Structure 1
Amino acid sequence: MNMRALSTATLLALTSQVALAQSSVTLYGRVDNGVTFVDNETGSHNTKLDSGVYYPNIWGLAGHEDLGGGNTMVFKLEGLFDLNSGKMLPANTEFAHQALVGIETAYGRISMGYQYDMTFDFFNQFNVSALGSGYAVHQGDFDHTNNDRMANSIKYTSPTYNGLQFGAMYGFSNTAGNFHDGSAWSVGGQYANGPLTIGAAYSFQATPTLDPHAQIGVHSFFGVPTVAGSGSAATDLQPEFTIHSLGTFGIGASYAIGDLTLYGNFTDTTLKYQNHASVMHVYEGGATYLATPAVQFVLGYQHTGFQGHKWNQVTAAAQYFLSKSTQIYISSDYLKASAGVDAILGDALTPSSTGQQADVRIGIVHAF
């Protein structure tokens, strides 16, 4: 009996070791913090300690299990937090950045949960201004250039075939009796060949909720007033403006010439409200230059047009890599908007009291 018990224990130990060898879980994360000076937020200068700007502050768990036959189970759980307060973002959430489980096979990956849309996977890499500044995503993030995710989604991503990769996903409304409202879908693909990368994506949302003044600084949206007063006395009249749909198409490319990489992109975003439709167009170009293995410069320009308004923005940044995991950076953005708009960089700051807004930021980011 003792020998039999010993044999059983030995078998269990060996089985456990095999199981551990076939699966793994990794704890990882990233922290970003710095000082930002903004020349005008609600009519006043603002110097603040602002975290999660260049990169969001995240902590995550990622794992996989070898299922045999070339099949692998994968999962990812990522939480967002404010480094300066220690609070989770948004409040009362645990995994607001990503939460998914899926299967990878020789034919691609299928995953389910809260995950990036195809605009992130195949287009956002060409948002060159955001490679230098976290405040430099396209106006209001209407075209999903700010790492947008899709809830209740099922997603397929293909393997890479001779440089070509593609994918599609659908987000369910999860509302009984209303399959459409709150649903979303996204498709995209990219082709990479040596120094050239080209990507395109289309993402659609049914009945999204926007905050027109806080996101793009307009005083009216589809003819509806969005703000009363000005400066510190301004009152946002439409913090939750629900439209019928938003569909955005983006196409971009990059080309590397030695240490210089050129970028260009274009987005066409259609917003529908009642019987009306408006289109936002964004044109962006710029470059990154790796001056030394430790120093990189970024320069970007973007032009936006929407409902008769214009926005012109310039971004410049310098980055110094202390190691593979740590870098310090300085970035600056300047935005000028047409009359009738309170300028706001990206959708991360508070609108200016005028048609111009500028910022300078010095920060540090570390990945672990």
Structure 2
Amino acid sequence: MKKRLNAAAFTGAALAIACMPAASYAQSSVTLYGIIDAGITWVNNTGGSHVVKFDDGISYGNRWGIKGQEDLGGGLSAVFVLESGFHVGNGQLGFGGAEFGRQAYVGLQNSWGTVSLGNQLDMTGEMVGLYNVSAWASGYAIHQGDFDRFNIDRLPNSIKFLSNEFSGFKFGGMYSFGNVAGNFHQDSAWSVGAHYANGPFTIGTAYTQLNNPHGIYAFDPYAMIGTHTFLGRPTVSVDPATGAITDLFSSSAFPVDKQATFGIGASYLIGTVTLMGNYSYTQIKGLGTKSHMHVGEGGASWQVTPAFSAVGGYQYTSFEGHHWNQVSAGLHYLLSKRTDVYISGDWLKASSGVDAVIGYSFTPSTTTTQADVRIGMRHSF
């Protein structure tokens, strides 16, 4: 999948997956790498006002990292990755201030695959996240609230097995320990997935479950999807005199017992055009009730020339009787193999009673629509 998507349009995809161990190593090595993305974004309505702002880590998350391996002999290697996320605008760390919040693991690799331990990508990210074609177009256009974890997320305190590719097929599974004394289940998570590639066709699927999602994956429903209720409970209070909205879970998370998501995605390469689609089903349980989110997405990328590509996508979401329709598009031009300039945009329309918010990225709109336009630059090293 990764080679196919990169060849069709995703000129930087190899960098996004470079942090993953390779299939084999000729010798021991240590590599320093990174990505820096920055630009200017206009949003038509954030809390009732438009905004023009500097924003970074959008087309690709900003990062610097060190990866390496040591040949132990007999076809066995030791591998490691330390990868930090940060903000160019202020120099601060991302991921809640974690120094290596993007990835941090150590493991052993042989001809079958890699067993690793640490803070690592889940199988939704490994097997289906790259089919989120709208996000390749704009970066902001992740699925609503990232409930289905297509934004390529991590699981901490985890042990993971990721196979090598055999005749186009690979698979993996992992378990994340909650580390709660006396309760093995609380704060734990697990994930399984598989992927297959055959010529121009690729397909991937994964299931990921979080028990008591917390930390950077805790729920703030209004900020995430703009609804005024969630699992039958209010998410905001509204001043009757001014209409001002107060987010009830901006400082303390909404109590969710389980977040379970199944996703599947596929692509097909036709000349210089890659067609892509995906579907996800997510169940959220808490406070004695449960709800389901469905997301369907389709789009394409067109490698117009070796340097110029166009990407577009449409996604439809339904949750608790609400509906979202979103279109996204982006144009990317390579100044070199490592430097890309781009322009992108999104338009979101939500159903009545929902304050539209694109990709959990801005303050929710005061209407059922929200739109953005961005001009940016990305450099890799």
| TM > 0.5 fold call | yes
Determine which of 197, 220, 225 is the counterpart of 2:234. 225
Alpha-carbon distance in structure 2 between the residues aligned to 1:292 and 1:204: 41
Report how far residue 169 of structure 1 moved. Answer: 0.3
Greater CA radius of gyration, 1 or 2? 1
Which residue in the other structure is 2:336 paired with? 323
Which residue in the other structure is 1:353 paired with? 366
* Cα distance per residue 1:211-250 (max 9 Å; x no partner): 1000000001111111123899321112310211010000
Q: What letter corresponds to residue 246 of structure 1 in structure 2?
A: Q
Which residue in the other structure is 2:376 paired with? 363
Determine which of 234, 256, 273 is the counterpart of 2:245. 234
Determine which of 210, 217, 225 is the counterpart of 1:216. 225
> 2:102 matched to 1:100?
no
Task: Give me the identity figure in percent.
Answer: 54
Question: TM-score, normalised to structure 2's length?
Answer: 0.89
Alpha-carbon distance in structure 1 between the residues aligned to 2:194 and 2:272: 26
Pairwise mapping of residues 66-85 of structure 1 onto structure 2 (< 5 A)?
Answer: 66-85=71-90
Alpha-carbon distance in structure 2 between the residues aligned to 1:297 and 1:47: 24
Which residue in the other structure is 1:116 paired with? 121
Asked if 1 retains the 8 angstrom alpha-carbon contact of 2:194 and 2:206, the reply is yes
Determine which of 39, 42, 48 is the counterpart of 1:37. 42
> 2:282 matched to 1:269?
yes
Report how far residue 323 of structure 1 moved. Answer: 1.1
Report how far residue 300 of structure 1 moved. Answer: 0.2
Alpha-carbon distance in structure 1 between the residues aligned to 2:324 and 2:96: 32
The Cα RMSD (Å) is 1.3
Consecutive unaligned residues in structure 2, runs of 5 or more: 1-25
Alpha-carbon distance in structure 2 between the residues aligned to 1:79 and 1:250: 27
Determine which of 166, 175, 180 is the counterpart of 2:180. 175
Alpha-carbon distance in structure 2 between the residues aligned to 1:259 and 1:363: 24
Tell me the secondary structure at the aligned position of residue 179 of structure 1: coil
Asked if 2 retains the 8 angstrom alpha-carbon contact of 1:43 and 1:232, the reply is no
Q: What letter corresponds to residue 235 of structure 1 in structure 2?
A: T
Report how far residue 199 of structure 1 moved. Answer: 0.4
Determine which of 256, 260, 264 is the counterpart of 1:251. 264
Which residue in the other structure is 1:54 paired with? 59
Tell me the secondary structure at the aligned position of residue 125 of structure 1: helix
Report how far residue 92 of structure 1 moved. Answer: 4.0
Q: What letter corresponds to residue 274 of structure 1 in structure 2?
A: L
* Cα distance per residue 1:101-131 (max 9 Å; x no partner): 0111112110000000000000011110011
Consecutive unaligned residues in structure 1, runs of 5 or more: 1-20
Alpha-carbon distance in structure 2 between the residues aligned to 1:165 and 1:248: 20
> 2:152 matched to 1:128?
no
Tell me the secondary structure at the aligned position of residue 129 of structure 1: helix
* Cα distance per residue 1:44-93 (max 9 Å; x no partner): 00000101111111010111100001111100001111101111124542
Higher strand share: 1
> 2:343 matched to 1:334?
no
Tell me the secondary structure at the aligned position of residue 135 of structure 1: coil
Alpha-carbon distance in structure 1 between the residues aligned to 2:191 and 2:379: 31
Alpha-carbon distance in structure 2 between the residues aligned to 1:346 and 1:263: 19
Asked if 1 retains the 8 angstrom alpha-carbon contact of 2:255 and 2:287, the reply is no
Tell me the secondary structure at the aligned position of residue 125 of structure 2: helix
Tell me the secondary structure at the aligned position of residue 242 of structure 1: coil
Q: What letter corresponds to residue 269 of structure 2 in structure 1?
A: A
Alpha-carbon distance in structure 2 between the residues aligned to 1:265 and 1:28: 30
Report how far residue 274 of structure 1 moved. Answer: 2.9
Q: How many residues align?
A: 348
* Cα distance per residue 1:287-321 (max 9 Å; x no partner): 00011111100110000000000000000110001
Tell me the secondary structure at the aligned position of residue 42 of structure 2: strand
